[in-house]
Amino acid sequence: MKFVLLASLLFAVPATAQILAPPPVPDEEVVDTVAESGFKSWLSTYRAAAQARGIRVETLDAAFAGLRFSPRVVALDRSQPDDSGAASLFSDYLSKRLEPVREARGRAARERHAAKLSEIEAATGVPASIILGIWGMESSYGAVTGNFDVVRSLASLAYDGRRRELFERELGAALTMLDKGLASRERMKGSWAGAMGQPQFLPSSFVASAADGDGDGTADIWESGDDTAASIANYLNRAGWRRGEGWGVAVTVPEGFDRERVRNLVAPTECVRVLAKHSRWISLGEWRKLGMVRADGNPWPADTAMATLLEPDGPGGPAYLTFGNYRRLLDYNCSNFYALSVALLGDALK
């Protein structure tokens, strides 16, 4: 099971990087008359297919009334550094996210929801620290959730066609939410990529994983902190989070280490550019024999635990041995920068 969240793929590009500037993002008021005409035709076809799948006419009327193509959303999608190949450094990215305001909000959320976080951890095995890490990275604990019309964003991205299958599926899930009364049309605001609420769930993730944490009979990821925490944990639990394993450890790599001898010879088939930065799987006992030293000085987990070496900025920069649970963070958002930031923010909030 894999649901990819897109809202957090915003990378800090160093001033020294020699790259082509992304195309300017148009103002919301800009109207592309040619695209608008094509969009209307596509929307009519999509609507007929959605109705044939069982979405009620009343739902489609409410969802699509006055809907226009958004050139701004498409431009934002195409200007992501991770897609354009722009150079960026994890150290730059982390410094803008692991900062005092976010950590203070995280400590406040930890205290405010302490009992519920403990209950969720006991039930699912997902640590409170990881829940808090995702919550903080996605929306800074509800402070930044986005104000884009989710239906318009998803429809525009589906029509654009660069990732049509993904966004047509998410638009269908958004219509399902509306048709089943899981959310009102007015509430469906979020990121330009269609991610909603405090955990920034895409509609398919909401349908599959949104949970009622406060016991009021509804899953409210917009206003309820308990529901947000329960939904994040449910998502990771469904994705296969392993109780008691942790995500990984920061390490010091010995000088002169031969990275070629640990290179992964099996090419990844998904999350390709991200997983290509990882070594092959090796037991912690073997990593220790190769000279790895745990950076924080704490005891190592069991020697039999398997881990991959990740150096997000290349040799000489920060280094981590990541466990299987790290891949569950990549399920949430396929970005090493994101997954490491979640893990390190969570560690800071323990």
What digits encode the pLDDT tens for the residues 174-222? Answer: 999 999 999 999 999 999 999 999 999 999 999 999 999 999 999 999 9
What digits encode the pLDDT tens for the residues 30-46? Answer: 677 888 999 999 999 99
- In degrees to the nearest 10, what's the CA dihedral of 79, 12, 202, 77? 0
Quote the DSSP letter at residue 196.
Answer: B
Query: Which pairing describes strands 248-252 and 282-283: parallel, antiparallel, or unpaired?
Result: unpaired
CA distance 302 to 290: 16
Per-residue tens of pLDDT for the chain, all 350 residues: 444 444 443 333 333 333 334 445 555 656 778 889 999 999 999 999 999 999 999 999 999 999 999 999 999 988 765 444 556 899 889 988 999 999 999 999 999 999 999 999 999 999 999 999 999 999 999 999 999 999 999 999 999 988 999 999 999 999 999 999 999 999 999 999 999 999 999 999 999 999 999 999 999 999 999 999 999 999 999 999 999 999 999 999 999 999 999 999 999 999 999 999 999 999 999 999 999 999 999 999 999 999 999 999 999 999 999 999 999 999 999 999 999 999 999 999 99
> Taking the domains of the chain in order of start, what are their residue ranges?
1-17+88-145+193-241+336-350, 18-87+147-190, 248-322
Architecture of the domain made up of 1-17+88-145+193-241+336-350: Orthogonal Bundle (1.10)
CA atoms within 13 A on the CB side of 248: 29
What is the pTM for the complete model shown?
Answer: 0.88
CA distance 336 to 4: 13
Residues of 222-237 as b/e, b for ≥16 C-beta within 10 angstroms?
Answer: bebbbbbbbbbbbbbb
Q: What is the pLDDT of residue 9?
A: 38
Contact (Cβ atoms closer than 8 angstroms) between residue 196 and residue 206: yes
CA atoms within 13 A on the CB side of 48: 5
Q: What is the pLDDT of residue 269?
A: 92
